[in-house]
Amino acid sequence: MKLAMISDLHSNIEALNRTLDHIAGRGIDDIICLGDVVGYGPNPIEVIDIVKEKCRFTIMGNHDEAMIKGPTGFSTIARGAIDWTKSAMKVTLFNRDEMQVRWDYLEHLPTRQEEEDFLFVHGSPREPTTEYIFEAEAAHGPSEKWNQIFGAVPRALFVGHTHLPCVIEEDLNAFKASEIDHKYKLGDKKAIINVGSIGQPRDGDSRSCYVEFDGSTVTFHRVPYDFKLTKEKIEAIPELDNRLGARLVEGY
């Protein structure tokens, strides 16, 4: 078993293409996506097409869900990006067949997937598309939230959503990926692994982040890409807030 897990692509084709090159260079052809294919970025159509072709399965993220159900609870910036993405994917007489395939793909993404002892969701088992699991929360100690989440975890839970790569063990020991030299071996404890973000990292590192998994060892990889080009594309689209491009520079 050797697979790559990607998440939170957010319509960033430069980051996705460089990451896929890196994955191929590792000899991995089994890829799964933990959601948020779209939102924020300038290339939703191209990213959907690539993920549809390359990923064995993709989980629905909150931005993918917002395309279908509307952006409930979104910030003004995020809502504006969803509105623009919808307009960019408008079905017309001239693109009806191919565009409808993309919309159908987003609409029918599963909210969870379980294989052997591993559970895959975007947010959490309790609220698969929307609930955040933050590493910093573990410092607050046991709670009903942690009891319910770990109660739903078979051996390991893989998530995205926060854009912050980390590991949280069931006794609430928690580690940023950088604190464990970007590698973690599953043991007797249940664990939550956040695989980070391809298209919009928020841990102070502008490089894309993905996870390689061999069934027991999790390896976090960071991949540089031309974020300046993505930033320029965002700035050229009036409906996308320039802050969505600016945050790519420092990875915040």
Return the CATH number at 181. 3.60.21.10
Q: How far apart are the first and last CA of the chain?
A: 33
| Three-state secondary-structure class, residue 85 | helix
Query: Does 8 have pLDDT greater than 80?
Result: yes
Residue 133 domain boundaries: 3-250
Distance of CA 206 to the CA centre of its chain: 15
pLDDT at 6: 99
User: Is the separation of the CB atoms in 252 and 202 below 8 Å?
Assistant: yes
For residues 21 and 238, give the distance between their C-alpha atoms in angstroms, rounded to a whole number: 31
Q: Is the per-residue pLDDT at 209 higher than 90?
A: yes
Token digits for 98? 């191919």
Burial class of 69 by CB neighbour count within 10 A (0 to 12, 13 to 18, 19+): exposed
Residue 222 has pLDDT above 80, yes or no: yes
pLDDT for res 167 = 98
Determine the pLDDT at residue 1: 76
Beta bridge partners of 32: 5, 57
- Judge whether 211 and 221 are in contact, CB under 8 Å: yes
User: Domain count of the chain?
Assistant: 1
Q: Torsions phi, psi of 230, nearest 5?
A: -60, -40
Are 20 and 47 spatial neighbours (Cβ–Cβ below 8 Å)?
A: no
Closest CA to 3 of 216, 213, 218: 213
- Model pTM above 0.85: yes
Q: How many CB atoms lie within 10 A of CB 70?
A: 12
Look up residue 164 and give its amino acid. Answer: L
User: What is the DSSP code (8-state) at residue 59?
Assistant: P
Q: What percent of the chain has pLDDT over 90?
A: 99
pLDDT tens digit sequence for 116-166: 999 999 999 999 999 999 999 999 999 999 999 999 999 999 999 999 999
What would the mean pLDDT of 46-54 be, rounded to a whole number? Answer: 98
As a whole number, mean pLDDT of residues 171-196 equals: 98
Mean pLDDT of the chain: 97
Alpha-carbon distance of 209 to 179, in angstroms, equals: 15
Q: Please write the tens of the pLDDT for every residue from 145-158.
A: 999 999 999 999 99
Q: Closest Cα partner for 170 from 180, 251, 154, 109?
A: 154
